[in-house]
Structure 1
Amino acid sequence: MADDLTWLLSRLAEAVPHTRSALLLSSDGIAKFWHGLDTDGADTLAALSSGLCSLAQQVGTRFGAGEGVRQVVSELGDVILFVTAASEGTVLAVLADREVDAGILSYEMGKLCTQVPAYLATPARQALAEPTNGYR
Structure 2
Amino acid sequence: MTQPQDLTWLLANLVNQIPHTRSALLLSTDAIPRFYYGLERDDADRLASLASPLCSLVQEVGKCFGGGHGMRQANAELGDGSILAITAASAGSILAVLADSTVNAGVLSYEMQQLGKKVPSSLATPSRSSSAEESRSV
| TM-score, with length taken from structure 1 | 0.89
1:73 aligns with one of 72, 75, 99: 75
What is the rounded CA distance, in whole Å, between the counterparts of 1:55 and 1:126 in structure 2?
21
Q: Deviation per CA, 1:44-69, whole angstroms, max 9, x where unpaired? A: 11111101111111212222322121
Backbone CA RMSD of aligned residues: 1.5
2:104 aligns with one of 93, 101, 104: 101
The code of the aligned residue for 1:31 comes to P
SS in 1 for 2:128: coil
Matched residue, 2:120? 117
**1:88 aligned onto 2:91:** yes
* Structure 1 unaligned regions, length at least 5: 131-136
The code of the aligned residue for 2:104 comes to D
Alpha carbons 1:19, 1:94 under 8 Å: kept? yes
SS in 2 for 1:68: coil
Alpha carbons 1:57, 1:66 under 8 Å: kept? no
The code of the aligned residue for 2:120 comes to P
Q: Which has the larger Rg?
A: 1
User: Mapping of 1:34-73 within 5 angstroms?
Assistant: 34-73=36-75
What is the rounded CA distance, in whole Å, between the counterparts of 1:98 and 1:92 in structure 2?
19
Which protein is richer in helix relative to its size? Answer: 2
Alpha carbons 2:60, 2:70 under 8 Å: kept? no
| TM-score, with length taken from structure 2 | 0.88
Seq. identity, %:
59
